Amino acid sequence: AGVLDPDLGKELNLMTAPQPLEPSLATLFDCWRIFLAYPNPDDLGQRILESVAQITHASRASLMLWDEDGQMLVIKAAVGLSPEIVASTRLRLGEEIAGWVAQNRRPLLLPGEPNPSTGSGQALPAAIRDTLRHAEITSALSLPLEVAGRVLGVLNLARLGASGSFTLRDLWFVSPIAE
C-alpha cells in the first residue's frame, strides 16, 4: 500500500525495503565525523566499527588490537560476536585470518567459496580455509591497521549465509579507515 506525498504528487510505497547504503565518500565522511565528534574515546572504536559494518553489510565485524605484553591480537570492539568470543579470542601472528593479515601486513579479500590464493599468488594456509568453512563465512575482508610501519591491529569484516561477497569497492571504502 502506498501513500501520496503531497510535496511530490507521487505515491510512495511504504512496503518497499530501504535501499542498502552504498560505500561512498559521503559514508566515509560519516565514519570520520563520528571519529572527530564522539565525546567518549573508550567507545569510539565500537561506534566506528558499527558504522563500517552497517555500510558494508557485514554480518560480523571486529577490531583487533595488538597486545604488546601478551604478543597477541585481542578484540577491542565487535559487531555480531558473542561476549564470550570477544573475551576469549587471542590470536598470535599467523593464526587464522586476522593473524595472517597482521603477519603479512596486507589486506585479505575472500569472496564466496574460499579462494586458494590471496590474489598475489601466495596460497592461503589450510587453517584459514577451514576457518571460513566452519564459521559459515561466505566472504571476509580483513585489513591491517598500521601507523608508521607498525601493525597496531586488524579490522575484520565477514558476511554469513546468503549474503553476497565483499568486493574491491568495499576494500576501497574500508582502506582509508584502516590506514
**120-125 contact pairs (CB < 8 A, 24+):** 124/100, 125/94, 125/100
Predicted confidence (pLDDT) at residue 77 exceeds the cutoff of 70: yes
> Could you tell me which residue, 138 or 145, shows the higher pLDDT?
145
| Residue range 28-61, pLDDT digits in tens | 556 555 555 555 656 778 888 898 898 899 999 9
pTM of the model: 0.71
Buried b (16+ CB within 10 A) or exposed e, 45-84: bbebbbbbbebbbbbbbbbbbbeeeeebbbbbbbbebeee
For residues 130 and 165, is the Cβ–Cβ distance under 8 A?
no
Per-residue confidence (pLDDT) for residue 136, from 0 to 100: 77
Per-residue confidence (pLDDT) for residue 173, from 0 to 100: 85
Tally the residues of the chain.
179
| Residue range 86-134, pLDDT digits in tens | 999 999 999 888 999 999 998 988 864 444 444 444 566 676 777 666 6
